[in-house]
Amino acid sequence: MVEKKTLTIMLASAPFGSQYADHMCRVALRALEKGHSVEIFLYGDAVHAQMNQQSPKLFFPVGMKLQELIGKGAKVYSCEICSVARGYITGQLTPDGKKDYSSTKVLDGVQFTTIFGFVESLARADKVLSFGGG
Amino acid sequence: MKSCILLMKLPCTEGESWRIGEAIRAKGDTLFLLGDAVESGRKEYRGHASSIVSGALSREAKVIASARDLRARGIEASELQEMIEIVEDIEGDFINVTMEHADRVIAW
């Protein structure tokens, strides 16, 4: 019996411009299938992976795979500031003092956080991987 | 300390970054070649990345290449340096090594 561990992954490259998002999705899927917990942090242009209704046709279907990962239990966090900058959310304070993370453009199940949230994910991780950005 | 490195970059365009592969130093270490990085396993490749691969093999480290990515690039098994293992489920093998055996893991 394999001991369940936590794998934290940062994706820092946009989907479709390179294969990093493809590789990340495949690795994350195998980790889940082997019984591990997976936390994914989308950073910089990688937040475009969270866009719903992607229709890549000949490219690896990153959005569909990300949704599949969420369905299998992966936690997908997206950088709030990166997402505001790219028009996915406003991040503005609502009347009750919470940040507005509502969006019609984002896959179901994606959660928004800051880089400090990523640090918390690192603290929970047994192993950490980074894809792209270099 | 067992090291595991997953390389994905195209070897001829990422010269300095490939030096990360030099962290593969001993028997028990594993170098995974995924995506464009499978090009570095070719016998005829003469760049620095090739010496990273041959150096790892000479130190009895495992070098594992993705069958899917070799096929996508039209590279035959006979074109690779001897002792490179070719696997279909490289992500599965990578997760096994990463989560169960490696002390240090780098994806690059």
> Which residue numbers in chain A have pLDDT < 50?
none
In this predicted structure, what is the pLDDT of residue B16?
Answer: 63
In this predicted structure, what is the pLDDT of residue B45?
Answer: 82
In this predicted structure, what is the pLDDT of residue B17?
Answer: 64
Which neighbouring-strand residues pair with B42? B80
The alpha carbon of residue B48 is apart from the nearest alpha carbon of chain A, in Å, by: 18
In this predicted structure, what is the pLDDT of residue B47?
Answer: 77
Kindly determine whether residue A30 and residue B105, on different chains, have CB atoms separated by under 8 Å.
no
Would you call B87 an interface residue with chain A, using a CB distance cutoff of 8 Å?
no
Tell me which chain B residue has its CA closest to the CA of residue A7.
Answer: B99
The pLDDT of B51-64, averaged and rounded, is 91
- pLDDT digits over B59-103, tens only? 999 999 999 999 999 999 999 999 999 999 999 999 999 999 999
Cβ neighbours of B96 in A, within 8 Å: 34
Sign of CA dihedral B37, B63, A60, A114: negative
Kindly determine whether residue A19 and residue B36, on different chains, have CB atoms separated by under 8 Å.
yes
Interface residues of A toward B, Cβ cutoff 8 Å, are: 2-3, 5, 7, 19-20, 22-23, 26-27, 29-31, 33-34, 36, 126-131, 134
In this predicted structure, what is the pLDDT of residue B14?
Answer: 54
Note every long-range contact of A35-38, with CB atoms under 8 Å and residues 24 or more positions apart, other chains counting: A35/A2, A35/A4, A36/A2, A36/A4, A36/A5, A36/A6, A36/A7, A36/B95, A36/B99, A37/A4, A37/A5, A37/A6, A37/A7, A37/A73, A37/A75, A38/A6, A38/A7, A38/A8, A38/A9, A38/A69, A38/A73, A38/A74, A38/A75
In this predicted structure, what is the pLDDT of residue B15?
Answer: 58
pTM: predicted TM-score of the whole model, two decimal places: 0.93
Kindly determine whether residue B99 and residue A130, on different chains, have CB atoms separated by under 8 Å.
no
Distance of CA B69 to the CA centre of its chain: 12
In this predicted structure, what is the pLDDT of residue A134?
Answer: 64
Kindly determine whether residue A134 and residue B99, on different chains, have CB atoms separated by under 8 Å.
no
In this predicted structure, what is the pLDDT of residue B39?
Answer: 92
Residue B13 pLDDT greater than 70, yes or no: no
The alpha carbon of residue A27 is apart from the nearest alpha carbon of chain B, in Å, by: 5
Question: Which of A3, A23, A30 shows the shortest C-beta gap to B92?
Answer: A30
The CATH number that domain B3-107 falls under is 3.40.1260.10
In chain A the domains, ranked by start, together with CATH numbers, are 6-131 (3.40.1260.10)
More confident residue, B47 or A64: A64
Kindly determine whether residue B91 and residue A134, on different chains, have CB atoms separated by under 8 Å.
no
